[in-house]
Structure 1
Amino acid sequence: MILKKIRLSKFEATVVLLLIGLFCIPLVPLCFASEEDPNSWKKTLETVTVTAQKRKEDVQEVTSSITVLSDVTIEDASIETTKDIWRYVPNMATTSTGSRSHWSRIKMRGITNAAFGDPAVALYIDDVSYAGLYAFDSPLFDIQRIEVLKGPQGTLYGKNTEGGAINIITKPPGNEFEANVGAEIGDYDKRRINACVSAPLVDNKFSFRLSALKSVRDGYIENLFNGEDIDNQETTAANARLLFTPGDNLSFDLKFRTYELDDDGGFPTVPLDKNQYKSVTGLTSLDEFQISTNYKGQSTSKSNASSLRVKYEWDRIDLVSITAYRDMDNENSLDGDFSASALYTSINTVESESFTQEFRLQSKDSDESFKWLLGLYYGDKREDCGYIYNMDQTYADMMGVPLYTQMDAASGTNGAEDMAAFGQSTLRFFNNAFGLTAGLRFEQSKRTLEDRQHISYGGTAIVTDNLERTDSELLPKLALDYRLNGNIMTYASVAKGYKAAGYSYAVDDPDLAVFDPEVSTAFELGIKTEFPEQKLRVNLAGFYTSVDDYQDRVMLDYSTVIQANVTETDIYGFELEASYALTQTLTVNGFIGYTNAEYGDYIDPMTQVNYQGNRAAFIPEYDAGLFLEYRNRFGLFARAEMQYIGSTYFDRANTQKQGSYALYHMRLGYEQEKWDVYLSANNLTDEQYVVDAFDTGSTAGWMASMGDPRTVSLIFNYRF
């Protein structure tokens, strides 16, 4: 017999290793067990309680795919911003242009946020929707739990969400004094300090919690024009929370949240094609974290949010009211030609205000046989957007005008008013072995574009008539689950998703400015298993989503970007998550995700090419993670992580691509009752990879936003 040499791709080799780690690892405990105490290695997998479905329940009993990150995991994994969450969730990814004040792409199961309109993936912090594309780089601290749900969630959540929801729960005030402080120093001159204090003002009646964060670091990118960094970052944030419980059945929870991001460089990017950039600029050498621009730019983001949650409890019914207000001001300025040619600069601004009110009436968490929820939601948001192109020195001299004379500008106010009634119920029967869940949402969405104008140098202002449209949609959900026993549950669900219409302010033609709603039908089939004796938990889910009028970012020309309905598309894939307690001190967690998303029949307006069958841009085909953690009773701690990200295209033509890559992280520590100290290292192999890219349309070519290089830091925490 002739043996042929087997060649595995990087992804195939990674999958083989992960499958061995996730499924063959139950044999490992035999190596750790001792003859004197054969059960000494055993460690109970903790029950994970979530509130993703607006009531407390075991995560293994939720009839949908959900990933939960506890406060311990958040600290162990050094999750510092909302953009760090994706590393621990299958079929989720996030990218940005490098600017923290600009919008970010959140992708979940092939559904993605784009340049305008509503986000496909919603961010909730303490029941309050941060429903803006510019809110996905928020600092995280003093967090109790993060829950990531997949698929449409409109029958449970006030603000509608088509692709999924990130539900963040902060730590509440308590009836005992609590205080802690943390400090971190690292390379790139990173310095971070956070503090928290919580205490009762009146026992069992009135308590407060205050937390704050300050962080700075030097930039990763060097500007060869002047030798300076162009992406230094500074973060300031604070949370305040007051909890008042005048009686056993009534509570008032008042929260304030504020943060400010202040960074150098409007779009801290680097050339994707180094040779082209060197030929244009005359540079002889250029590494992955270098660029040459004569204008540095600035990026700022300021956000303030306040909310009041009131809960009144009757014997069998709870009433919840959530009132919230939020404002955000974002601005970034950048070198518009991305070179030292001094042609033009650019300024982008977004100022938004939003008000939301939600009422929920629901059954008690303890009701097992029949659970139900009814809700009403109102949301009103106004967003003032604008861009300005100014002449830099070269163009100004050519035109004989002062430096930074305005050459092109556009502005407009996008309005969004949403009203919805929603509800969901679950009936259990046959001794609670079967569960039938039904939900329905009626949504009415009003979108407006007002005060829109566009003016070019030497021309007159083009003022567009105010635009308005109102759409309504019925969004049903149906799910059936079967509990084979207390540890195994299978489920199937179908739900209709909806992403509202809207307007792109950056284009003069009203017919091109408008885009229609995106509507999807999402199917999911899953099984959740837990084996207490083996200390093993394995969850598997498959999904299929049919999307009509898929919304995406479209370039009409190199200076005009709009939102458009590009195609109908079918998306399918699967995700596997597993957790195993090897010994009392050693645990392993991991996941594998796969998403297939391709464009349907659509002709690009700029290239006039039909991209049917091409992979959807910015959607990784595969992702995977493996996390090994050791913690013993003497205080020793170690955590090792491996994350794999499959290939990703940055355009519909599938010409610009980041190949698959793997990242490795490690954390070592010593933990005591009052204090901890850790040594943390991210991207150990200093992998160089692109997370986002776009075509500038200039001789500079494509620009890329790079992933973080290798970083090392020392962390110290103290608890009073």
Structure 2
Amino acid sequence: MKRANMKTHLLCSAGLLAITAMGHSLPAIAQENDTSADEVSRTLETVTVTAQFRDQQLQDVPNSIVAFTAQDIEDAGIRSTEDFIALTPNVSFDNSFTYLNSFVVVRGVTQINNADSPVAIIVDGVPQNNQKQFKMPLFDVEQIEVLKGPQGSLYGRNAIGGAINIVTRQPTNEIEGFVSGGLSNGSGYRMEGGISGPVIKDQLMFRLSGSYYETDGLIENAYLGRTVDTVDHDYSIRGKLAYTPNDVFSLDLRAAYTDARAGAAYDAVVNSQLNPDFRSGNDSNDIFAPASNLAGITEADILDLSGKASLDMGFATATYILGYTDLTETYRSDLDFSNPDQPTFGPFGQLGQGQNLSLDLLSQELRFVSPDERTFRWIAGGYYLETDRSLLTRGFLDLTGSVDQFDTGIAIIDRSEDNDNTAWALFGQAEFDLNDRTVLQLGARYDEDERNQTQGAAGPVRTRSFSAFQPKITLSYDILPDVLGYATYSTGFRSGGFNAPGVVLDSFGDETLTNYEAGLKTGFADGNGTLNIAAFSSESEGFQFFFVDASTVSQIISNLDKVDLRGFDADFRYRVSESFTLSGGVGYTDSEIRSIGNAQLESYLTASGVDTDAVIGSRSPKTTDWSVSLSGQYVRPVRSGLDAVLRADYEYQGNKYWQIDNLDVRDPVNLLSLRFSLESDIWSASLWGKNILDEEYYADFNPAEYAGAPFDLGSQARPATYGVDFKYRF
């Protein structure tokens, strides 16, 4: 669907201006203290974050952070990872291939499939150490914090692009709970619920919550005549116990389980050998529907167990965190992404593919955090991780159009591998109040990671070790009472590893990032507004990127020698009146590939038809140059105790560069969402729509030169979605 960008901008702006033009009423965001409709404070909510392992006000932390409180999550209808990423400048999130798969990019640092994430994902203090754990239903969540820029000194490996801290709601000392549900187009159905209260008053408390989602999908396969982005079921349940026998000791226990069955790999063949000069990746010019004869499917389940014990020792609080994850994901799908009426591999006929992934992770962390009120504050700790990952990959002849052929059919590729790694780290951070207005922060971390891969059931074993020292220095200065300036030197590290045995590039190296950043965090309009700006300049050595070799059914990771990343973030929130709040942000990332520096990779790319000379000076893969978000929320009382809330969210995604030669670029995308709610203290009802302009674009795109096949592959993003939500609290 082709649309002029100017027209889309005008439509989006008109929606927000319409909200602005309305009269005066209640505040659009939560206040620190309960107030009546006639007694409303004009100040914004004070947000407390735990990004540096201690409670701090958001505006006092010298770091680029976007935080979403429980009220923000409720107001914006945030239900998934993708929802809050859309409101965060310089961060993008793309769904791709399997149901749990996703590609997150932070300031140009890119997610790698079946490998370490570019951001550290922390849920209730426990690191989520696999890419498949990032895409999750967000229910019963208290707060989300997105830190941008390397956070290696505290969060270690994988925090090369930043960190995301998700805090779920804690058990309460009084009985409370909620039930919510919703319907959406595509026969979508969602339900959530939770209950919390004391087991032993003031000492032992519990919280139990869960969610369920299913949909028939909205993306239709033109050959099969059915939708392929279905979710047969996705249910999660989470239980928490909090034990606080006295003022100095606390123990938190958490268990969570997720089970899902959904579609997979509904990519469409965009071009073929018949038109090899055709370039694609654009949103409105060449959107093709999937037309494969083999409908893909994903089955996944995740078990998470964790415990956190804290002891106030006077000179410091000691915290021990234990986390365990058991994750499995299987997918089956087409490999040629075509059908018998339109074959793409010629004499090879129809082909299928699939993988069985099994993952066990055990992590432990012990840290000591000094009291907050001292002029010298410090953090010290250690971390340990064990990972056991097995992967079975098969390509097979598709003779019957059934995914069961993965187990019973004729295999043309059958490859198994076991990847084990042991990682440990020591870290520390110190803060010095040089005077009443100046703080110096020094941090450092040493990480060591040993990787082992066993090929086949009892094949040869490969071993490699990776290590890094990650320092961080930050100087912050209170320029004015409401203006904080800071300058940071920080580093990040992402471990290397092994590709599948027998592929053209059998291993990849680690990636390190050196970042220089300067920022301002400001408040204005007597507490009614905040404006935060950060500029960064980074150099990546060993930049990791991902591509596919379909000829060996292989997902391959390799390294680019040097990539420069420069840009800025800005976010603001302004309470225009007691009834209207405006918020948003803008981000820009200018990436440049300086050198490939890998002879084996250059040889492979050249053989695949890539002009490696043209790669130098290009932007890094999956990078979006501009990102803009703008939200307006208006609240009006309908009667005593009942409010009407109107909210509009606009997102602009600039040019997206799919691969390292920049020949395939997605045009800018404009997304507009609207939400209208009636809210009381105990219930709410909402009508909502996402992507209401029905923008058509690719969520993921793999050019032929990087897909190992004679065609480009494009995966459609979801079209316009709309629905109704209900919630009851008790």
Same fold per superposition (TM over 0.5)? yes
Q: Which moved more, 1:412-421 or 1:499-508?
A: 499-508
Instruction: State the shift of 1:272 in Å.
Output: 3.2
Instruction: State the shift of 1:323 in Å.
Output: 0.5
Cα distance per residue 1:358-415 (max 9 Å; x no partner): 00111123x252221001100010110121011112899xxxx997211111111111
1:288 to 1:612, Cα distance in 2 relative to 1, 3 A: closer
Instruction: State the shift of 1:605 in Å.
Output: 3.4
Q: Which moved more, 1:40-49 or 1:670-679?
A: 40-49
SS at match of 2:301: strand
Partner of 1:340: 339
Partner of 2:434: 429
Partner of 2:28: none
Q: Which moved more, 1:56-65 or 1:310-319?
A: 310-319
The 5-angstrom pairing of residues 294-305 of structure 1 reads: 294-305=293-304
Cα distance per residue 1:506-528 (max 9 Å; x no partner): 5346xx32211111111110000
Contact 1:250 1:311 (C-alpha < 8 Å) held by counterparts = yes
Q: Which moved more, 1:44-53 or 1:498-507?
A: 498-507
The 5-angstrom pairing of residues 177-256 of structure 1 reads: 177-233=175-231, 234-256=233-255
Q: Taking every aligned residue pair, what percent have the same amino acid on both sides?
A: 27
2:536 to 543, 560, 570: 543
1:571 to 1:392, Cα distance in 2 relative to 1, 3 A: same
Q: Give the letter for the 1:165 counterpart.
A: A
Query: Distance between the aligned counterparts of 1:323 and 1:159, measured in 2?
Result: 18
Query: Distance between the aligned counterparts of 2:292 and 2:124, measured in 1?
Result: 42
Contact 1:556 1:605 (C-alpha < 8 Å) held by counterparts = no
Instruction: State the shift of 1:584 in Å.
Output: 0.7
Cα distance per residue 1:182-219 (max 9 Å; x no partner): 01012100110100000101110011000011111112
Question: Unmatched 5+ residue regions in structure 1?
Answer: 1-8, 34-38, 278-285, 454-462
Query: Distance between the aligned counterparts of 1:543 and 1:443, measured in 2?
Result: 24
Query: Distance between the aligned counterparts of 2:116 and 2:652, measured in 1?
Result: 29
Q: Which moved more, 1:624-633 or 1:681-690?
A: 624-633
Contact 2:289 2:716 (C-alpha < 8 Å) held by counterparts = no
Contact 1:154 1:422 (C-alpha < 8 Å) held by counterparts = no
1:146 to 1:276, Cα distance in 2 relative to 1, 3 A: farther
Query: Distance between the aligned counterparts of 1:423 and 1:11, measured in 2?
Result: 50
Query: Distance between the aligned counterparts of 1:149 and 1:214, measured in 2?
Result: 29
Cα distance per residue 1:33-90 (max 9 Å; x no partner): 9xxxxx9997211111000110000011111100001111112222222232210111
Contact 1:536 1:581 (C-alpha < 8 Å) held by counterparts = yes
Q: Give the letter for the 1:118 counterpart.
A: D
Contact 2:85 2:93 (C-alpha < 8 Å) held by counterparts = yes
Partner of 2:628: 624
Contact 2:97 2:266 (C-alpha < 8 Å) held by counterparts = yes
RMSD: 2.9
- Is 2:485 the counterpart of 1:487? no
SS at match of 1:123: strand
Cα distance per residue 1:408-436 (max 9 Å; x no partner): 111111112111100111111222x0000
Partner of 2:566: 572
Q: Which moved more, 1:650-659 or 1:473-482?
A: 650-659
Q: Give the letter for the 2:647 counterpart.
A: R
1:306 to 1:42, Cα distance in 2 relative to 1, 3 A: closer
Contact 1:464 1:508 (C-alpha < 8 Å) held by counterparts = no
Contact 2:157 2:447 (C-alpha < 8 Å) held by counterparts = no
Partner of 2:345: none
Question: Unmatched 5+ residue regions in structure 2?
Answer: 26-37, 276-284, 341-348
- Is 2:494 the counterpart of 1:499? yes
Q: Give the letter for the 2:719 counterpart.
A: P
Contact 1:677 1:717 (C-alpha < 8 Å) held by counterparts = yes
Q: Which moved more, 1:133-142 or 1:577-586?
A: 133-142
Contact 2:550 2:708 (C-alpha < 8 Å) held by counterparts = no
Query: Distance between the aligned counterparts of 2:272 and 2:693, measured in 1?
Result: 22
Partner of 2:720: 710
Alignment size in residue pairs: 674
Q: Which moved more, 1:526-535 or 1:212-221?
A: 526-535
Instruction: State the shift of 1:180 in Å.
Output: 0.5
With the length of structure 2 as denominator, give the TM-score of the two structures.
0.87
Partner of 2:104: 106
Structure of higher RCO (CA pairs closer than 8 Å, 6+ residues apart): 2
Query: Distance between the aligned counterparts of 1:507 and 1:12, measured in 2?
Result: 51
Query: Distance between the aligned counterparts of 1:699 and 1:411, measured in 2?
Result: 22
Partner of 2:46: 47
Partner of 2:392: 386
Partner of 2:375: 369
The 5-angstrom pairing of residues 79-118 of structure 1 reads: 79-101=78-100, 103-118=101-116
Partner of 2:415: 410
Query: Distance between the aligned counterparts of 1:151 and 1:402, measured in 2?
Result: 44
Query: Distance between the aligned counterparts of 1:407 and 1:203, measured in 2?
Result: 62
The 5-angstrom pairing of residues 628-707 of structure 1 reads: 628-634=632-638, 635-695=643-703, 701-707=711-717
Query: Distance between the aligned counterparts of 2:222 and 2:401, measured in 1?
Result: 22
1:667 to 1:599, Cα distance in 2 relative to 1, 3 A: same
SS at match of 2:630: strand
Contact 2:381 2:426 (C-alpha < 8 Å) held by counterparts = yes
Q: Give the letter for the 2:540 counterpart.
A: V
SS at match of 2:595: coil
1:316 to 1:214, Cα distance in 2 relative to 1, 3 A: same
Query: Distance between the aligned counterparts of 2:709 and 2:243, measured in 1?
Result: 61
With the length of structure 1 as denominator, give the TM-score of the two structures.
0.88
1:474 to 448, 469, 473: 469
Q: Give the letter for the 2:658 counterpart.
A: F
Cα distance per residue 1:467-509 (max 9 Å; x no partner): 1112322111100000023210000000121111111125346
Contact 1:385 1:412 (C-alpha < 8 Å) held by counterparts = yes
Query: Distance between the aligned counterparts of 1:118 and 1:483, measured in 2?
Result: 37
